[in-house]
Chains A and B, each alone.
Chain A
Amino acid sequence: MNFEEAKDYLLKKARQMGIDAEVLAAESRELSLSAFGGQLEEITQATQGGIGVRVVVEGKVGYAYTEEKTPEALDWVMQEAHENALLQSSGGGFIPVGSALGRHDLLGEGLSAPLEQKQAAALTVEATLRQDARVKQVPRTSYQEQEIQVVLGSTQGASGGYRTGVSVVMGMAILSDGGAPKQSWNVDFSREFHALEPGKTALDLIHDTARLLGARPLKTGKYRAYFEPKAFAQLLGVISFMFSAKNVLEGKSLLAGKVGERVASDLVTVVDDPTLPGGIASRPFDAEGTPSRRLTLIEKGVLKSFAHNSETARQMGVEPTGNAQRSYKGVLGVGHSNLFLEPGSGVKLQEGVIVTEMMGLHAGANPISGDFSLQALGLKVEGGEVAYAVENFTVAGNLLSLLQSISAVGEGLEWEYWGMALGAPMVEVAELSFAGA
């Protein structure tokens, strides 16, 4: 049985059982090539996928999924989902009325290239890295690509699918100029294989890591902070938790009840745009089939909207924003696509610390309390210029106060991928606590 047939089988079964159901299937093809010592050390090739249902029985919602597409497995899925639904005590769940959404191809010929060129991409990153005498080891370099097909259908009329994908080139290196080593990584991704520049990815990695060599301890104190785009994008990923209407309704968001209020400096505008051309997380519709549209979350410091799926929208009396998120294994949630902080008029270095990278976000940043304390690497700025590298310190504060203390926003926009596409320019924060020596 293929996914289309499995989807039809499940929807037919749901109708027979007299329950509403939404079926989401995803299938991906993956190729991964990693280089070490001038040779490919690991090649992975895969096809993988699964199908998941969300059923609603008298307003009660249940879920189940399978990766085995036999009638027995699909029957098990419907039965489990049904029993899971009956565990809910109150109703209120529903499958939204859907429509024909069409078939979309966002990838086209983006990954079309001979295997040799893709192998060369991985080998080039490693070779370029190893040309620099300061590069002591290259733990990993790789080329990876993924092609994803998503199919959605519901008993309420939703029907559609799309194909997307990504090609990624990545390098990791350990540098030393005789003193203590520094390890870092760099990644570049695109829906177009030919847009990747493996040599540049490697050179950028060397440049960004080499400037951290010879780092000195940072004295504990309050400093002006300059977050490089890569670092701020990581913070934006944590902040995005607060935009989710699901988290608002569950009492987990510090932004609850603040729509229309000033929550950030007026230099801050945050947008989620699934329609962004070339956006790595662009999609024609969300996991419930709500068509994609650009959503402004914060405009000049004022909270304009939360991100909604149909369920949170109904509970809060607003329109869905097209931010429903679900994988075939997962449950209905709220998620972002291409989320970014709009560029500003530029940052001028004065005194303070440039934060180039932060580590340990899963442990050091709490999206519910907003408190963060993160290990960071950076550069000390004195008299408007980079003076020396600093290490073994943390930068700490509260995410909401940080948004309010943003004192300048840079011009360019750089993208990172952390489960969603996150875009940020350089960001200056008037004052933050740094702990070090």
Chain B
Amino acid sequence: MLSETLVSDVLRRARLGGADFAELYVERWKRRNLRMLSGEVKEATSGLEYGAGLRLFYGTEVVYAYTNDLSPESLLEVTETLVKLKGQAGQVDSRGEGGLDFRKQAARGLHAPEVPLSARDRRYRVERLLEAEAAARVAPEVKQVQTQLLEWDQEVLVATSEGKWVEDRRVRTRYVVTAIAQNETGMQTGTFGPGLSVGLELFDRYPPSEIGRKAGEQAMTNLRAKPAPAGTMPVVIGNAFGGVIFHEALGHLLETTSVAKKASVLSDKLGEKVASDCVTYIDDGTTPHGWGSSEFDDEGMETARTVLIENGVLKSYMVDKMGAMKTGYAPTGSGRRQDYTYAPTSRMRNTFIAPGDTPIEKLFEGIEYGLYAKDMGGGQVKPGSGEYNFGVKEAYIIRNGRIEEPVRGAMLVGKGPDSIAKIVAVSSDLETSPGMCGSLSGSIPTEVGQPHLLISEIVVGGQA
């Protein structure tokens, strides 16, 4: 995307100006977004995002600049401005002299799509979404169905003053089906949104007829559901997106972004027991075609499979380059950012609980009264106090070990990783599910996942 000479000039200028480290991130990102509602195309959008971010380290201080103007004049001016900001424009740091000899690395295509963005007629997309919509209309009460298709083709270049030159390409596709069911009691929704690092073959992996039906059925379940109970009780959390509980309650607390500042309740706890024995938690940036996978992270490091917690013991944090400098932990290929408008920080990739050995039916056995949270929405956490929450999209009452009537509108809340210790049994049916995670370096695609599991007690925030 940029000439080697220009990149080298920018990085060397920054080093001559006294920066210990300089990194240029360049991005060209084609995106398509198609939204349909009740058989009609509501909006179709195409976009080209194009920009560069320059990051300089002075000790542990970071200066960052970004721009859409990638002309040599503009990039050199941006560099000059950053150097001046540090008040060292007049100085010459001899460490920056001499040429930069880039070691070029390119993606091997591990997550490359079978069907690229430009392939297939636009009508093909519309027809698949129409299929999903038709399937979502499982009952006359389903009044509206919204479907949405997102297609991303992102090319990135990361070059550093340490001679790194990495080119990666991330193609991601996701579609989301939302069914709205309505009767005299109110309006309820059901939503499913599969996504992977693939092209339009996503529709073959997740047939629209199946995803549509699931969304429609969930809306109908919620329409007949009563308000969820309120109180503290045992909860069985469903697989796949259920993993959002760990994303909030553990994942965010293991990012060096907060760990380095001792702003996480899990700082300085390597080797300690932080969860019960049945919990093994893994963050894997290499899952083939995973929604949160890429061959390199946004700092140009190869991604890896990082075991965070093994049988309840904390094994590793998620570490970016600056996090490594501040904590001394080795980088884990976890430096991620939404786009060139953000400097990278340590983030999750595809994060999941490893399968356990408790048969699913055993999870429910012995529960006199509790909640089965079959499908979850998003959540949030405050790393400093450990207080976290996550919404429930589809839930049922458990009575005497049996799954009974549906309930709606529950939120599960907890405090501190001590409640993670209340996860007493993990089943073996691991599945993963895509989501968008928002934090300091923007909104990025991440997968969450888990098998069915049992929490001995947690606050269920319902109305009844």
Contact = CB atoms under 8 A, between A and B. Distances in A.
Given A139-B263, A392-B414, A174 B385 contact: yes
Given A360-B378, A392-B459, A47 B389 contact: no
- Most chain A beta-carbon contacts within 10 A, residue among B35, B126, B189, B229: B189
A46 B66 contact: yes
B315 interface: no
Contacts of B61: 39-43
Contact of A374 (B45, B263, B461): B461
Interface string B370-395: 00000001111011110111110000
B41 A87 contact: yes
Interface in A27-68: 36, 39-50, 52, 61-68
B180 A359 contact: no
Contact of A369 (B66, B78, B186, B343): B186
Given A47-B69, A137-B384, A360-B379, A42 B63 contact: yes
A369 B45 contact: no
Contact of A250 (B37, B64, B459): B37
Contacts of B154: none
A66 B49 CA distance: 6
Nearest to A218: B459
A90 interface: yes
B158 to A, nearest CB: 18
A46 B341 contact: yes
B410 A46 contact: no
Nearest to A47: B67
A20 interface: no
B380 A360 contact: yes
B168 to A, nearest CB: 20
A366 B227 CA distance: 13
B82 A391 contact: no
B230 interface: yes
Contact of A68 (B42, B50, B63, B122): B50
B411 A87 contact: no
A325 to B, nearest CB: 13
| Residue picked from A63, A251, A375, A398, most chain B C-beta under 10 Å | A375
Contacts of B388: 375
A87 B46 CA distance: 13
Interface string B24-54: 0000100000110110111111111111000
Nearest to B263: A139
Contacts of A88: 40-41, 44
A163 B387 CA distance: 40
Contact of A373 (B41, B42, B341, B461): B461
B460 A435 contact: yes
B409 interface: yes
Interface residues of B, number: 84
B209 interface: no
A205 B320 CA distance: 30
B362 interface: no
Contact of B459 (A50, A63, A394): A394
Interface string B119-135: 00011001000000000
B225 to A, nearest CB: 10
A139 B413 contact: no
Contacts of B305: none
Interface in B384-430: 384-385, 387-391, 408-411, 413-416
A363 interface: yes
B64 A375 contact: no
A45 B384 contact: no
Interface in A150-189: 174, 180-184
Interface stretch (A73-81, A225-233, A336-344, A416-424): A73-81
A373 B46 contact: no
Nearest to A437: B232
A110 interface: no
A83 B50 CA distance: 22
B85 interface: yes
Contacts of B123: 87
B308 to A, nearest CB: 21
A370 interface: yes
B183 interface: no
A141 to B, nearest CB: 11
Contacts of A48: 51, 66-68, 341
A362 interface: yes
A408 B201 CA distance: 55
Most buried by A among B42, B67, B263: B263
Nearest to A249: B37
B230 A68 contact: no
Contacts of A360: 378-380, 389-391, 411
Nearest to B380: A360
B232 A63 contact: no
Contacts of B122: 83-84, 87
Given A368-B187, A373-B411, A64 B45 contact: yes
B68 A87 contact: no
A137 B265 CA distance: 11
A134 interface: no
B416 A180 contact: yes
A374 B343 contact: no
B378 A435 contact: no
A388 interface: no
A43 B413 contact: no
B462 A396 contact: yes
A56 to B, nearest CB: 13
Contact of A364 (B187, B389, B414): B389
Contacts of B64: 42-45
A89 interface: yes
A3 to B, nearest CB: 11
Contact of A435 (B180, B186, B459): B459
Contacts of B45: 63-65, 84, 329-331
Given A46-B66, A364-B411, A397-B463, A254 B232 contact: no
A331 B68 contact: no
Contacts of A50: 49, 68
A14 to B, nearest CB: 16
B189 A368 contact: yes
Specify which of A84, A369, A437 lies most central, judged by the most chain B CB atoms within 10 Å of its CB. Answer: A369
Q: Which 8 A-B residue pairings sit nearest by Cβ, starting from the closest?
A: A394-B461, A363-B391, A435-B230, A183-B384, A84-B44, A174-B384, A375-B389, A80-B46
Interface of A: 36, 39-50, 52, 61-69, 73, 76-77, 80-81, 83-85, 87-90, 115, 137, 139, 174, 180-184, 220, 250-252, 254, 329-332, 359-360, 362-364, 366, 368-375, 377, 391-398, 433-437
27 contacts: A39-B61, A41-B60, A42-B61, A42-B62, A43-B64, A45-B78, A52-B47, A67-B49, A67-B68, A68-B48, A76-B48, A87-B44, A174-B385, A180-B385, A184-B382, A220-B230, A220-B231, A220-B232, A360-B379, A363-B390, A369-B188, A394-B459, A396-B409, A433-B462, A433-B463, A435-B230, A435-B462
Interface of B: 28, 34-35, 37-38, 40-51, 60-69, 78, 81-82, 85, 122-123, 126, 143-144, 146, 180, 182, 186-189, 222, 227-232, 258, 261-263, 265, 341, 343, 377-380, 382-385, 387-391, 408-411, 413-416, 459-464
